[in-house]
Amino acid sequence: MFSAPKGVPDYIPPTSAAFTHVRSTLSRAAELAGYGYVELPVFEDTALFARGVGESTDVVTKEMYTFLDRGERSITLRPEGTAGVMRAVIEHSLDRGQLPVKLYYAGQFFRAEAPQAGRYRQFHQVGIEAIGVDDPALDAEVIAVGDAGFRALGLTGYRLELTSLGDAACRPAYREKLQAFLAKLPLDEPTRQRAELNPLRVLDDKRPEVRELVAEAPLMVDHLCDACREHYERVKGYLTELGVKFVENPRMVRGLDYYTKTTFEFVHDGLGAQSGIGGGGRYDGLMEQLGGQSLSGVGYGLGVDRALLAAQAEGVLPEFSRVDVIGVPLGEAARARLVAIAGELRAAGIRTDLVYGGRSMKAGFKAADKSGARLALVLGERDLEAGVLGVKTLATGEQVSVPLADVVQAVRDGLKPVDLAVPGGTEGLASDAGAEAASRDL
């Protein structure tokens, strides 16, 4: 017997409906802000991520799924989305047109991490990137789009954390101050080596003993140049205008090396250790580093898996059903007609299923109850002779007979009001004319 690889979740009904709801809701927020969809390869040249993400990051040094293809080329399953988007922008000359280039993506990403609740080796993200304009208002827009996506899901138990990581003008001097501070600490050798490569990574260390050692470390936000400080203040001002609440976290360090200036994270404390449900920031030097123009960019990646867990924790997911309508045939001739009616309803955009398998009437009605449908279409031999069909609202038990020629419109009318009553039982599902079929198995 086979099972899914460790750390790779299956989403099956009914959870899969909630998963697609979360993904489409987060995607819709991007579409409403004018972001166009880009479909990216699942694997890329390994050098793209090594150069773009940062060779000193845990993502590159420990977590990437890398292999040689048949041409002996080093290929990596994508661990994040920004580098791939930037590669696509450069390759297809999108940066030579109207700026900013505004794109969003959705899909699977891969990291060889120790699996736990909310942390998977295959995970899903919805992300956006706005490339080509260094404008604090654009930073604020990106953050607000992410916030709008979470609010559209009904989430309230998260907070937005915000800081600035400076730029090439002010970060080198800060780096020297931080390295001088870290050099005095009794760090283990791997951490000391990390401090030499990228001292900010040490501030991101999750070990309690290291956190205690760096508690008094200098902070980037206190050493911003005038331009970066003005940029940061304007971002905060725009967020206030947009009604987006935030808290400043000067100790925030994102897990990727390309971030500059605005950096942010959405945190949900109801998820335990894996509390980050999304985040991002500005990356002003990334395009040039990957061989393109010297253009700025800002974006985010929102975790679909974790947003789903957060929505479940808060109890804000709506009710989902497979179908709106289910047909219950009472006889072979009725079955043939309901097959045709189901086709008509599907063509009209109505989710429709049938009770299959020659079940008894009782079993058919039980299947109708379990389907989650709002309407049941009941058709027996006498109904066919009379040219009518029973349309039953399962939540209330109300049933009406309608001419077979008018079924599509009758179903549309029956689905318009959202009935909030608890779905009723199966008693009385059969129309009077179809009751003759009650005594035999179908």
Binding residues for L-histidine: 80-82, 111, 125, 129, 254, 258-259
- Strands of 36-37's sheet in order across: 36-37, 101-110, 122-131, 297-303, 276-282, 260-268, 158-164, 247-248
The rounded distance, in Å, linking the Cα atoms of 149 and 311 is: 12
3-state secondary structure of 279: strand
The rounded distance, in Å, linking the Cα atoms of 422 and 394 is: 9
Tokens of 31: 């579409």
Tokens of 76: 């990596």
Whether 312 contacts 195, CB under 8 Å: no
- Annotated binding-site residues read 80-82, 111, 125, 129, 254, 258-259
Whether 143 contacts 239, CB under 8 Å: yes
Non-local (6+) Cβ contacts of 73 within 8 A are: 45
Burial 155-182 (b: 16+ CB within 10 A, else e): beebebbbbbbbbeebbeebbebbeebb
